[in-house]
Amino acid sequence: MTSDQDTFIADAVEKALAGDMDAINSIEDRSIRGKAKAALVKAKRAAKAEQKSESSEESQGGGTPEEKVVQSSLSALLSSVYPDEIIEILNEGKVVQLKPQKWNEIATFFRDHADALLDQLECLTGVDLGTEEPLQVRYNLHSMKHRHKIEILINADRVKPEIPTVETIWRMADWFEREVYDMYGIVFTDHRDLRRLLCPEDWEGWPLRKDYEEQESYHGIVVPKVKEGWE
């Protein structure tokens, strides 16, 4: 971009920020108009971020260097009782990442505490975040009485993944944890019957991992799909 194009675009963006969109819409050259619009979006975002940081600084009254995190009532309850176990609160308190060590205790707390009463485990998902990243298990919890939800993320190391089981707390976790073990290899400690669910008992490998290589043959059956003449 040449410098007078620069100043032309900066001019137009300023006018647009002040409210006059015609300055940009009347540019005839399509590429310059596109650049001006992009610069306008960037300027608007920068202004918004400034505003946010100003207001958060004001509400904190200055002093603490961290940003104030928006929490839901459930995540606030959790952070008041188990503040050390929380790694991160995401998505305005709807998603909480926890450390794996005390997960069993926290799960019992979630199910039995009068303000939480999360008696229904909706879904238990295993996730492989990437070949260099850890494995992760996500729990979606729901309360039939209070009708609120929360999602819990727990990371597991890739080499030796272990997470405490919650199958005694929510019985649904029994089979869902077996499936996660089958697909990812995450061992759920103290599970009373952890064996493969969908694959045969003597299958090798953890199929849903991103670096999964299927075995060459299984009891004499060729495993990879080979179709002659089809390529």
Partner 1 sequence: MRAYFTTIWESVSTLITGMAITWRHMVNIRKGSVTLQYPEERWPRPERDIGFDQGEYNVIRSRLHVDMDDCIGCLKCERVCPVDCIKIETHRVDKGEDIPDVGHTGITSNGTKKALLVTRFDIDMTECCYCNLCTYPCPEECIYMTGGPNSEKHQIDYEFSQYDRNDMVYRFAKETSEEQVAIATGENGEKK
Partner 2 sequence: MGVGSVKEVGPVQAEQMVLNIGPQHPSTHGVLRLKVKTDGEIVSEVIPYIGYLHRCFEKHAESITYEQVIPFTDRCDYIASMNNNFGYVVAMEELMDIKVPERVEYIRIIMAELNRIASHLLALGVYGLDVGAFTPFLHMFRDRERILDIFELTCGARLLYNYMWVGGVSHDLPRNFESICIDFLDYFEPNIPEFNELLTKNKIFIERTADVGVMPAEVAISYGVSGPNLRGSGVKWDVRRDEPYSIYNKFDFEIPVGTGEYGTLGDCWDRFWVRMLEMQESCKIIRQALKTIPEGGDVHAMVPKKIRPPKGSIYRRTESPRGDLGYYIISDGSEIPFRMKMRSPALTALSVLDEISAGWMISDVIAILGSLDIVLGEIDR
- Judged by the rule CB under 8 A, the positions of this chain that interact with partner 2 are 119-123, 125, 127-128, 138, 140, 144, 147, 151, 170-172, 174-176, 183, 196-200, 207-208
Of 169, 167, 212, which is closest to residue 190 (Cα–Cα)?
Answer: 167
Q: What Å distances lie between residue 8 and 11, 17, 46, 72, 179, CA to CA?
A: 5, 14, 20, 46, 60
Closer by beta carbon to partner 2, 82 or else 203: 203
Q: Which does 57 bind (CB under 5 to 8 A by kind): partner 1, partner 2, none?
A: none
Closer by beta carbon to partner 2, 200 or else 220: 200
3-state SS of 107-144?
Answer: HHHHHHCCCCCCCEEEEEEEEECCCCCCEEEEEEEECC
Query: What is the spatial distance between Cα 203 and Cα 16, in angstroms, rounded to a whole number?
Result: 63
In this structure, are residues 97 and 127 in contact, taking their beta carbons and an 8 Å threshold?
A: no
List the one residue from 58, 132, 201, 231 that touches partner 1 (CB under 8 A).
Answer: 231
Q: Which of residues 25-64 bind partner 1 (CB under 8 A)?
A: none
In this structure, are residues 151 and 141 in contact, taking their beta carbons and an 8 Å threshold?
A: yes
Query: What is the spatial distance between Cα 65 and Cα 186, in angstroms, rounded to a whole number?
Result: 37
Q: Which does 71 bind (CB under 5 to 8 A by kind): partner 1, partner 2, none?
A: none
Is 132 a binding residue for partner 1 by CB under 8 A? The answer is no
Count the residues of the shown chain that bind partner 1, applying the rule CB under 8 A.
3
Give the helix ranges, DSSP H, for the chain.
Answer: 3-17, 22-25, 30-60, 73-81, 103-112, 173-184
Min separation Cβ 121 and partner 2, Å: 6
User: Which two structure tokens, joined as six digits, stand for 167?
Assistant: 């199958």
User: Which two structure tokens, joined as six digits, stand for 103?
Assistant: 């997960």
Closer by beta carbon to partner 2, 35 or else 191: 191
Q: Which does 32 bind (CB under 5 to 8 A by kind): partner 2, partner 1, none?
A: none
Q: Which does 5 bind (CB under 5 to 8 A by kind): partner 1, partner 2, none?
A: none
Closer by beta carbon to partner 1, 30 or else 225: 225
Closer by beta carbon to partner 2, 54 or else 133: 133
Min separation Cβ 218 and partner 2, Å: 13
Closer by beta carbon to partner 2, 33 or else 196: 196
Q: Which of residues 170-229 bind partner 1 (CB under 8 A)?
A: 229
Q: Which does 231 bind (CB under 5 to 8 A by kind): partner 1, partner 2, none?
A: partner 1
Query: What is the spatial distance between Cα 101 and Cα 22, in angstroms, rounded to a whole number?
Result: 59
Residues that bind partner 1 (CB under 8 A): 229-231
